[in-house]
Chains A and B, each alone.
Chain A
Amino acid sequence: MPDRKLDPVTLSVLASAFSGIAEEMGAVLIRGSYSSNIKERRDCSAALFDARGRMVAQAEHIPVHLGAMPEAVVAVMEKDPEPGDVFALNDPYSGGTHLPDITLVSPVSLDEEIVGYAVTRAHHSDVGGMSPGSMPSGSREIFQEGLIIPPVRLMQGGEYVGEILDLILANVRTPALRRGDLRAQIAANRIAETRLVELIERRSRDTVLAAFDEVIAYTERRTRGAIRELPDGRHSAEDVLEGDGITDDDIPIEASVEIRDDTMTIDFSGTSGAVAGNVNCPLAVTRSACYFALRVLLPGDVPANAGTYAPLDIRAPEGSLVKAGSPSAVVAGNVETSNRIADVVLAALSGFAPERIPAQGQGTMNNLIIGGSRDSGWTYYETIGGGQGASAKGPGPSGVHVGMSNTLNTPVEAFELEYPMRVERYELLYGSGGKGEHRGGDGIVRSVRVLEPATLSLLTDRRRHGPRGVAGGQPGEPGSNLLNEEELPSKTGRELEPGDVVTVRTPGGGGYGP
């Protein structure tokens, strides 16, 4: 085996040490954070990068975060980072995905030389903008969605840059929580540096840095091997997103996947142009969805890192829904459109390996955002699981996150201890999964009664078109949103009176087989 500096054993030892570091970062972040969204729902991710900005290891948290992190590191590297710096950013047009996801990038240094980057990304439950929770349903440009943070130094020489922190906190509705959550992210980045330096002390700098290269090369070999096993050719698929929060019109997304030997090209020609509402995606989000789909085809033991991306070429028309430019609104692109992109790419991939791709899952995160009035200052954000698609292997799981998210729920008891709201119902919708030889998983119903005046945002999808079955299986039932008895559109906002009940019924998964 050519060009290898390390023996296979040392490499395998170090690969597990790297993923151990990323896992520990994730644990520190979750444990140390303040807002329900991070501490209870774990809507956050952690990863370790090399000095060239390539991902070396990640903690397996939220797919849409992880695939989009490399852009953040690239954006920071352009700012000449120095040891002791911690950069913050959320600008979707400069390394971010959507504004609530604040990313902290810390150079990891040894003797004043940068040897890598520690990165954490967390969904902050408010970053300002036109509605509490910073997930407005009706935004038309990014400036309405919250404070835009280009890559800036939050810490310099190991000290807070107080003015930057002040600026951020002055623009958000829940500054105390933001301060605590940012501190937890900094602690997580710091633990990565401590651990990496310990590792270098034990194993030598050259060995560890060589292992960065080789771990990535290893994953690339495995990824190319898996692509090579698929037949050469081209397959296409299309699907729609149900409205952009401004109109209810279906928005087409099209992808064609071409495989030549050990490379894969995904082309989004034919996809709708960027829309007036907020379901647009910066390219980072689109890439993330493509990586996810490719990762589904890889054997489970392949470490996830930059090597996965090397054989993949992504082509998206400029100014399209999947490669929007500033100032397009994007807040729902990350949480809704990303799922549909993954669905479309998976559907195209099933042309190469039909038995390995399950029927469609719920294909939405069912984003439910409720914020208190101006003086009470609380914001609640939840994404709700639904049905997974059935596959040749068996029925689809019920009541889970299926695509680009994998957050936990907020326990009912934690929810009611924290918010002036009450959960009226939280259970499975038996029979909502599509019929077939193997049934699709069932969706969930979650009903929330507000006890004070509040503002509602809903960003959901698959309310008209149920998730498709495969191999003759039936589609899953579409979801629905209700305010008391009134049916609401898939993406909408409302003012709520005390006693109002918001009900979200999530889609069932598609069935497999006749």
Chain B
Amino acid sequence: MDDLRLGVDVGGTFTDLVALGGGDIITAKVPSTPLDQSEGVMNSVRTAEIEVRNVAAFAHGMTVATNALLERRGARTAIVTTEGFRDVLEIARQNRPSLYDLAIDRPPALVPRELRFTVRERMGPEGEIEALDEGSLEKAVAALKEAEVEAVAVCLLFAFAHPEHERRVGEVLRAELPDAHISLSSEVLPEFREYERFSTTAADAYLGPRLAAYLSNLGSEVEGAGMPEPLVMQSSGGVVELSTAASGAAACVLSGPAGGVVGAAYVAGKSGYRNLLTFDMGGTSSDVAPILEGEALTTTESTVAGVPIKLPMIDVHTVSAGGGSVAWVDAGGAPRVGPHSAGADPGPAAYGKGGEEPTVTDANLFLGYLQDGATLGGEVTLGRERTAEALERVGGEAGMDALKAALGVVQVANTEMVGALRVISVERGLDPREFALVAFGGAGPLHACSLAEELGMQTVLVPKGSGVLSALGLAVSDLRRDYVTPLLASLDDLDRKDLESTFGELEDRASEDLDSPEFHRRADLRYGGQSFELMVEADDAENLEDLAARFHDAHERRYGYRMDGEKVELVNLRLTATVSVEKPGLEESEPEADAERGRRKANFDGEWTEVPVMDRTRMGRGSEVEGPAVVEFAEATCVVRPGWRGRIDEVGTLILERENA
């Protein structure tokens, strides 16, 4: 096999590899190495026994930036800001996180008080109000040297529109502090609203040194092994060159989940589905995201680990409900699931490793969805007896027997996930009934049919490689760069030519960064006087009226009303530049003679039924399954509820359809 496209995804527990080429797919799964994630990356390449000289492209997704942010283990970072505005990062928006728990504070600012420095200068909406005082800059530089910082965020008021002072400060800092990482707010996020811009810039500075060190280390190891330089997955769902990733760390915080969403879009696209909700359920949490016309939706309103980062990111929503989430009964007698998770150790009661509390996995085992006595990862054996005891004990607190408790736990967990799916569909103005649900992750296919029923969805897709979908997504990701420029003006006062020339400038920049990219134009618009923008497509907008019409439609979809008579304002122009990579096909083999592994009792809505248990590895192109049934994949189990019928298609995806609903 030559011309291999490699995707390597580092997750919390496992590092997954997928290699695509000539219609074939090679996969490998090795333990992650949290201290130096690159070790696991190289281990996965060795385990897969790949001929390194056949590797044409290498794409990488990781959690280095996410973890550094979550654990607050970034660089020693300072901020240089406008005099009089030292504490923007700490004051944030001045609201408290909990209305009634008065002791809870916001997460600490990434830059502590003693590392906040100011310079005398002031820009306003129209430009310079007070010149940059070089004396104050010299003082700030001396203080920064004294403080021995590794990174500096330069964040001046109104720099989104008038970046001259920020550029001058940046120039001096780069000369005076050559080893420090310098981020300018006008470069990281040229948009108005100082807190969000400063916060994004501070995150960029805070994460920059750690990410750059990791990537440069990984780069030399990969190069040393004779493979091409890795491309790095961004939060936006596209990959960039290693050097670009290293200099824009804030854009990498969702590098991990982005791969799964891109993978889901790719695989489902091969089966002919382009409007999707993705559902990735793991041990401690579940991620959901919308895909429209084959493309992952992005948002610029994310907050990661308590830090607003307003860069384009896939619109992924996470809830803390996973297979290991613990079930309990609260003081008012209501059943609850999570957010506490039993993790891998002691794990669910069924593991017999000391876990006493029933989890979602326990409920799935009790109901016959998982097999009593099954071994996971060659180590843990599921034991139904321990599960029954735990469910009985906790259920007793709410006056329920073990069966009612198990049904209840699954339903409460499903409610959490239905809520998450509603956030990324209904609240985005998308009707879930027009979408197919793509289920992956170890536990996703167990719950998918129930969630689909609750949301009125007709189709569930379970891809063959659902256990390594993130790595697959990496292998097929396009190169992508995002650009934004502020253009505050009423559409009435603009000319089509103004728009054209601003987009033209962005496109020139993109053409310098990428090799013959394709362009995708968008615009952030709002009703004159409103404060929140909606992003609309601007590609084939022939004139400004088209743009306004699209905005009216988008506003009605999202908020339920439109105001055709009102002025529409432009806030930002956005350009996405992509270079497509070659995407190999997927092929499914013929089925083997008999894929039924046996039969067991499973419970649906209170009724026990004997159901067939299918072995996915023996099923193939055209294999069919009729619910109620259980399909056991290599790394996941799929429950086909009564009323559902499934068939494996040409590319190996199990397509489940709901009958006469």
Q: Does A156 contact B (CB under 8 A)?
A: no
Contact residues of A between 380 and 408, Cβ < 8 Å to B: 384-385, 388-389, 391, 393-394, 397-402, 406-408
- A167-207: contact bitstring with B at CB < 8 Å (1 yes, 0 no)? 00000000011001001000100110010000000100000
Asked if A315 is an interface residue, CB under 8 A from chain B, the answer is no
Interface residues of A toward B: which range? 35 or more
**B336 with A12: CB separation less than 8 A:** yes
20 A-B contact pairs sorted by A residue (CB < 8 Å): A12-B412, A13-B411, A13-B415, A20-B419, A20-B422, A42-B95, A180-B529, A187-B559, A190-B560, A221-B333, A299-B331, A399-B90, A406-B96, A406-B99, A408-B94, A411-B193, A411-B194, A413-B160, A427-B85, A428-B113
Q: Is the CB of B661 closer than 8 A to any CB of chain A?
A: no
State in angstroms the CA–CA spacing of A16 and B416 once bound together. Answer: 8
| Min C-beta distance of B143 to chain A, whole Å | 16
Q: Which chain B positions have C-beta within 8 A of A191?
A: 560
- Given known pairs A9-B411, A24-B427, the reply for A301 and B95 (CB within 8 Å) is no
**With a CB–CB cut-off of 8 A, which chain A residues contact B99?**
60, 63, 295, 406
Q: A221-B332, A400-B95, A412-B194 are in contact. Are A298 and B419 (CB under 8 A)?
A: no
Residue of B nearest to A430 (CB): B113
What 0/1 readout, one digit per residue, does chain B (46-65) give for beta carbons within 8 Å of chain A?
Answer: 00000000000000000000
Tell me if B103 and A187 are in contact (CB < 8 A): no
CA distance A32 to B488 in the complex (A): 19
Interface centre among B404, B407, B532, B558 (most CB of A within 10 A): B532
Interface residue? B124 (CB, 8 A): yes
Q: Give every chain A residue within 8 A of B104 (Cβ-Cβ).
A: 397
Partner of B95, one of A222, A408, A417, A422: A408
User: How many residues of chain B are within 8 Å of chain A by beta carbon?
Assistant: 63
Interface residues in A256-312 (C-beta closer than 8 Å to B): 292, 295-296, 298-302
A211 to chain B, nearest CB (A): 12
Q: Which of A397, A402, A407 has the most CB of B within 10 A?
A: A397
A409 within 8 A of B: yes
Find out whether the CB atom of A194 lies under 8 angstroms from the CB atom of B91. no
Contact assessment for B84 and A222 in the assembled complex, using a CB-CB cutoff below 8 Å: no
Assess the A222–B332 pair: CB atoms within 8 A: yes
For residue B399, CB closer than 8 A to chain A, the reply is yes
- Judging by beta carbons under 8 Å apart, are B94 and A422 in contact? no
In the complex, besides A413-B158, A413-B192, 13 extra interface pairs with C-beta distance below 8 angstroms are A8-B400, A9-B407, A9-B412, A11-B334, A13-B412, A16-B419, A27-B427, A31-B532, A42-B95, A400-B95, A417-B192, A427-B84, A428-B90
Asked if B660 lies at the interface with its beta carbon under 8 angstroms from chain A, I say: no
Complex contact A40–B95 (CB within 8 A): no
A12 to B413, CA, bound (A): 11
Interface pair B412/A411, CB less than 8 Å apart: no
- Chain B nearest CB from A352 CB (Å) reads 17
Contacts A36-B531, A388-B102, A391-B102 given; indicate if A187 touches B560 (C-beta within 8 A).
Answer: yes
Known A-B contacts A8-B335, A426-B85; the reply to A16 vs B90 at CB < 8 A is no
Task: Digitize B319-343: 1 where CB-to-A-CB distance is under 8 Å, 0 elsewhere.
Answer: 0000000000011111110000000
B168 at the interface (CB under 8 A from A): no
A416 vs B193: C-alpha distance when bound (angstroms): 11
Could you say which residues of chain B place their CB within 8 Å of the CB of A235? none
Q: Is B626 an interface residue (CB 8 A)?
A: no
Q: Which residue of B lies closest to A187 (CB)?
A: B561
Question: With contacts A28-B559, A388-B96, A397-B96 known, is A444 near B91, CB below 8 A?
Answer: yes
A426-B102 contact, Cβ under 8 Å, with A28-B560, A222-B331, A413-B193 = no
Residues of B within 8 A of A (CB): 84-88, 90-91, 93-96, 98-106, 113, 124-125, 129, 157-158, 160, 192-195, 330-336, 398-400, 404, 407-408, 411-412, 415-416, 419, 422, 427, 454, 488, 527, 529-532, 558-561, 563
**What is the bound-complex CA distance between A300 and B100, given in angstroms?**
8
Q: Is the CB of A295 within 8 A of B530?
A: no
User: Does the CB pair A32–B96 fall under 8 Å?
Assistant: no
Chain A residues near B88: list those with CB within 8 A. 426-427
Neighbouring A residues of B532 by C-beta, 8 Å: 30-31, 39
Nearest B residue (CB) for A408: B93
Contact A397–B530 (Cβ < 8 Å)? no
Give the distance in Å from the alpha carbon of A138 to the alpha carbon of B194 in the complex: 35
Query: Quick check: B332 and A218 within 8 Å, CB to CB?
Result: yes
Contacts of A40 in B (CB 8 A): 531
Contact present for A399 and B94 (CB under 8 Å): yes
Q: Nearest Cβ distance between residue B559 and chain A, in whole angstroms?
A: 5
**Interface: A34 (CB within 8 A):** yes
A33-64 to B contact mask, C-beta < 8 Å, 1/0 = 11010011010000000000000000010010
CA distance A384 to B332 in the complex (A): 38
Taking CB atoms and an 8 Å cut-off, the chain A residues in 1-34 that contact chain B are 1, 7-9, 11-13, 15-16, 20, 24, 27-28, 30-34
Question: 7 closest Cβ contacts across the A-B interface?
Answer: A39-B531, A385-B94, A425-B84, A397-B105, A9-B408, A408-B93, A399-B91
